[in-house]
Chain A
Amino acid sequence: MATLTSTIIETLTLDGQTFDSTKIKTISSITQVLKTIVECPTSEINIVTFASAATGISTLDQDDVEYVRLTNLDSSNFITIGIEKESSTASIAAFRLDAGRSFILPISNTATEHPQFFASAAAHDSSATQIDIETITALANSSACKLEVFIALNTTT
């Protein structure tokens, strides 16, 4: 087992003032890392799937997922990332990941809590129930882009 330390350092000097910042998050009990670079076409593809049990290399046990980072490695084009639940009541949150930018999926990091979200296209509802994320998808906007995927797991079996 190992500890993952994620550090974000911001450096900015504007009008003689510094706006520097360092944020550190540690996640213990990491046993596996999935790190890959995927070519995303201009049609939507599945990047990773979360399920109640792991299957093969890209369907992960949702209990084990502790950290997910996606980085658009392209120099100019953006990728639309989809955070999806496909079974029963389908939900999706899609957002633009510009060239060179990274997205870190918020994850609860308690022992077996799943990556979750909620989405709606209707009136705002702050009390809506969070639901499990089942799939992360990607769609390159204008031409194929490379996407770096980094996932840390606390798998014990």
Chain B
Amino acid sequence: MATLRVTHTEDIVLDGRQQGSTRTMTFENIEDTYTRTFTFSQQALTSLYSTDAAALSGAVQDDSSVKYVRITNVGKEAIIINIIAETENHWAYEIQPTESYYLYSHNLAALADKTDDITTTEMKDLKDVDEVKAYCVRNTGRVEVFIASTGTNL
């Protein structure tokens, strides 16, 4: 077991004064990692990894064990990252080259809707993140995926 430390620093001097900050996240009991730099086809929605409660494999993570995910756009074109939760809840952002997207817990962690506002009750009924996909409109896309997990529940 090991400890993953993620230190995030913002450095900006405005009006002669440092206005950035540093935050450190610590993830204890890390046992598994998954790292892959991956090229995917233009305009093909491509799975980067998925999660499951039991049926695990190299790119299928235990949804209760995943603690930290970083997806970095290492290609030359902007890409869309599509986060898919249970019952087809999903949402997406555009990620520019050199930009990273971060996810943490995948267990009871997400909800999406495009038909109306989500009530407080719904916001307290989050779903598991089941899969993350990528899409590149203008050319082939290239991402780096890093996942750190605690021991699985096998």
Taking beta carbons and an 8 Å cutoff, which residues of A are in contact with B?
Answer: 2-14, 19, 21, 23-25, 30-33, 35, 43-44, 67, 69, 71, 78, 80, 82-84, 86, 89-98, 100-106, 108-109, 116-124, 126, 128, 130, 139, 141, 148, 150, 152
Contact = CB atoms under 8 A, between A and B. Distances in A.
B114 A119 contact: yes
Closest 4 CB pairs of A and B: A93-B91, A106-B93, A119-B112, A119-B91
Nearest to A35: B19
B117 A21 contact: no
Given A12-B2, A12-B3, A148-B23, 4 more contacts: A9-B9, A92-B114, A118-B91, A126-B135
A94 B126 contact: yes
A80 B119 CA distance: 12
Nearest to A100: B25
Given A9-B6, A90-B114, A97 B104 contact: yes
Contact of B25 (A25, A101, A124): A101
Interface residues of B, number: 69
Interface of B: 2-14, 19-21, 23, 25-26, 30-31, 33, 35, 45, 70, 72, 78, 80-84, 87-96, 98-102, 104-105, 108-118, 120, 122-124, 126, 133, 135, 146, 148
Contact of A118 (B70, B92, B120): B92
Given A4-B20, A8-B8, A117 B91 contact: yes
A4 B99 CA distance: 14
A121 B25 contact: no
Contacts, number: 214
B114 A118 contact: yes
Contacts of A92: 111-114, 117-118
Contacts of B120: 43-44, 139
Contact of A150 (B7, B10, B112): B10
A14 B2 contact: yes
Contacts of A152: 10, 12
A93 B84 contact: no
A39 B85 CA distance: 28
A30 B93 contact: no
Contacts of B3: 12
A11 B68 CA distance: 12
Specify which of A21, A93, A104 lies most central, judged by the most chain B CB atoms within 10 Å of its CB: A93
Nearest to A9: B7
6 contacts: A2-B14, A24-B98, A92-B113, A95-B109, A120-B90, A122-B114
